[in-house]
Amino acid sequence: MSELLMSWGLERTLANNIAMLGQGTLDTLYMVLAATVISIVLGVPLGVLLLVTSKGYFWDSPRFYAVLGAVVNALRSVPFIILMVAIIPFTKMLVGTSIGTTAAIVPLTVSTIPFLGRLVETSLRTVPYGLIEAAQSMGAGPYTIIGKVLLREALPELVQNFTLTLIVIIGCSAMAGTIGGGGLGDIAIRYGYMRFQAGMMVATVLILIVMVQLAQWLGDTLARHVDHR
């Protein structure tokens, strides 16, 4: 009888752990995908603005570029774990709480937007300036050049940078678990570390590795698809 109860208890624990990991995976995907989309929506315009206000481009403004670049660099230099704590009041004001998966999206995006902005700027600089001059000679305006020359020509590099951003966010989402951000990081801290359940720690690490591998494969595949050069 005791063996039966022990077996049933182990099966129940295993089922609970699997359910917990499943929910943690869904929470992590929610955080990662939401933060990635927001970062792309805001990071791409930031990168474009950094490029077109730099020296030699059509909205050349050295002072504006210097100030904006300094702000971007300052945000990029703050470690994510410190940033999460530092902007807790801002997170509470924005989403009403500083704990949980939705709250974790705020520091994830604040940390990633300047990072992606610089990557976008770098990608756009790979577009030969001769193409911009050719478009200008044909009467194309700044917005047309941005959309049909810069972004289109740099699209493969941009996709690779979006992939890199997605992978960085996956790693940061795990760190968010240290202050109650939810997801796989929270499970790894509460069960793998605090309760010394090595199996849970290994499981969360393996799931995160699979996520990163899938993200990289999808990014490489999409980059090859959009590269028509």
pLDDT at 200 over 90: no
pLDDT at 194 over 80: no
- Is-contact 43 113, C-beta < 8 A? yes
Give the structural domain span for 65: 23-226
Residue that wins the pLDDT comparison between 100 and 48: 48
Tell me whether residue 29 is in a domain. Answer: yes
Average pLDDT, the chain: 86
Tell me whether residue 8 is in a domain. Answer: no
pLDDT at 12 over 70: no
Q: What is the pLDDT of residue 183?
A: 82
Q: What is the pLDDT of residue 2?
A: 45
pLDDT at 207 over 60: yes
Q: What is the pLDDT of residue 26?
A: 92
Q: What is the pLDDT of residue 14?
A: 72
pLDDT at 5 over 60: no
Q: What is the CATH number of the domain that holds 100?
A: 1.10.3720.10
Tell me whether residue 14 is in a domain. Answer: no
Residue that wins the pLDDT comparison between 4 and 73: 73
How does residue 229 score in pLDDT terms, banded at 50, 70 and 90?
low
Residue that wins the pLDDT comparison between 56 and 206: 206
Tell me whether residue 118 is in a domain. Answer: yes
Tell me whether residue 205 is in a domain. Answer: yes
Range name among 72-81, 172-181, 198-207 with the lowest pLDDT average: 172-181
Tell me whether residue 7 is in a domain. Answer: no
How does residue 69 score in pLDDT terms, banded at 50, 70 and 90?
very high
Q: Tell me the mean pLDDT in the region 171-182.
A: 79
Q: What is the pLDDT of residue 9?
A: 44
Number of domains in the chain: 1
Tell me whether residue 17 is in a domain. Answer: no
Tell me whether residue 16 is in a domain. Answer: no
The per-residue pLDDT for range 17-28, each reduced to its tens digit, is: 788 888 889 999
The per-residue pLDDT for range 73-126, each reduced to its tens digit, is: 999 888 888 888 888 899 899 988 888 888 899 999 999 999 999 999 999 999
pLDDT at 44 over 50: yes
